[in-house]
Amino acid sequence: MKRILSGIQPSGTLTLGNYFGALKNWVKIQHEYECMYFIADLHSITVTQAPNNLRENTKKAVMQYIACGLDPEINTIFVQSHVHEHAELAWVLNNSAYMGELSRMTQFKDKSKSQKEDAIKVGLFDYPVLMAADILLYDPDLVPVGQDQRQHLEIARVIARRFNNQYGKEIFKIPDGYIAETGAKIMSLQDPLKKMSKSDANPNGFISLLDDRDTIIKKFKKAVTDSENIVRYSDEQPGIKNLINIYSCVTEKTPKEIEKEFESVGYGNFKMAVGEVVADCLLKIQTKYDELNKPENEGMLRNIYEKGANRAEEIASKKLREVYDTVGFVVR
Ligand code: TRP
């Protein structure tokens, strides 16, 4: 069975973008692949996090993974910091990565551009190397990532090849990206040219998986559109295009069918309709989530990420040992 690996940062509550861009698809493929999904808490501290929020968000993310339909019996679900090999391999790989290539990464440039050179965190700069370690520890065949993470996957492949060449051994498998057949990039409701993000300063820009119906409808009502008032799927109307994509993800109707359905309806009614279907869809997830979130289920939850960490560690420790031996460390 081919192996898949991916992760999401717990830097806030998961959003509709995480669901349609990643989680929904992970659920679909969980029976076809051996899947490893983790919460990237090590990555999240490259942007300042309040400790208690980070702790809560990490636990919530585990529950949300399961509430969205990932079966912990057949998937390995774990927390990145529980498997210390990630940080250790990143240190080794730091010596197979160059300052030049890291400083040219789009995400690094975006996240650091508003900061003074003196105050840019080394962790932010080194982020892609840690991500390479996450991936290369497990020899996955495929790594599902969104468009914005493509460059990071590419540099992981470069680092892997460079390491293999330096030591003359195929230590790391070169993973491929995994492109989902369905699903769409969900954009911010306030700025439809930007990806929907949980770290958006304006909470109206994103739908949290845990937002209640009223909040969801309110946010869709406020969604930024244009003045055409015609529900049409076009790049010239990015706000409406995004809403059509969201409606399409929930209902599995095509944009053409949706244009027809809302032909003579103004934006106001269309926005309401999108809000309603999204609220219905999230209600199912929230019902499961509320169940998992009960105090009596805390032990069960801990067991899930314990079991996940043990399984991950089994694979990761073997790989790290091989790497240590290869670079010439005395292996104990
Ligand atoms: N950087 C990814 C993101 O922000 C999260 C991530 C960390 C990841 N490590 C990974 C994704 C390894 C895939 C594989 O979306």
Residue to probe by mutation, ligand 1, list 4, 8, 108, most atoms within 8 Å of CB: 8
Every domain of the chain and the residues it spans: 3-179+297-327, 203-291
Global pTM reads: 0.93
Residue nearest to atom 2 of ligand 1 (CA): 8
Residue nearest to atom 8 of ligand 1 (CA): 7
Domain 203-291 falls under CATH 1.20.120.450: no
pLDDT at residue 12, rounded to an integer? 81
pLDDT at residue 183, rounded to an integer? 67
Cβ atoms of 130 and 137 closer than 8 Å: no
Q: Which of 211, 199, 270, 208 is nearest to 237 (CA)?
A: 270
Do domains 3-179+297-327 and 203-291 share one topology? The answer is: no
Active site residues: 111, 195, 198
The b-or-e profile of 262-275 (16+ CB within 10 A means b, else e) is: beeeebeebbebbb
Token pair 């636990």 is found at 59
Q: How far is the CA of 282 from the centre of ligand 1 (A)?
A: 24
What are the tokens at 310? 């043990």
Residue to probe by mutation, ligand 1, list 5, 6, 89, most atoms within 8 Å of CB: 6
Q: Residue ranges of the chain with pLDDT lower than 50?
A: none
Choosing among 1.10.10.10, 3.30.460.10, 3.40.50.620, 1.20.1300.10, the CATH entry for 3-179+297-327 is: 3.40.50.620
pLDDT at residue 184, rounded to an integer? 74
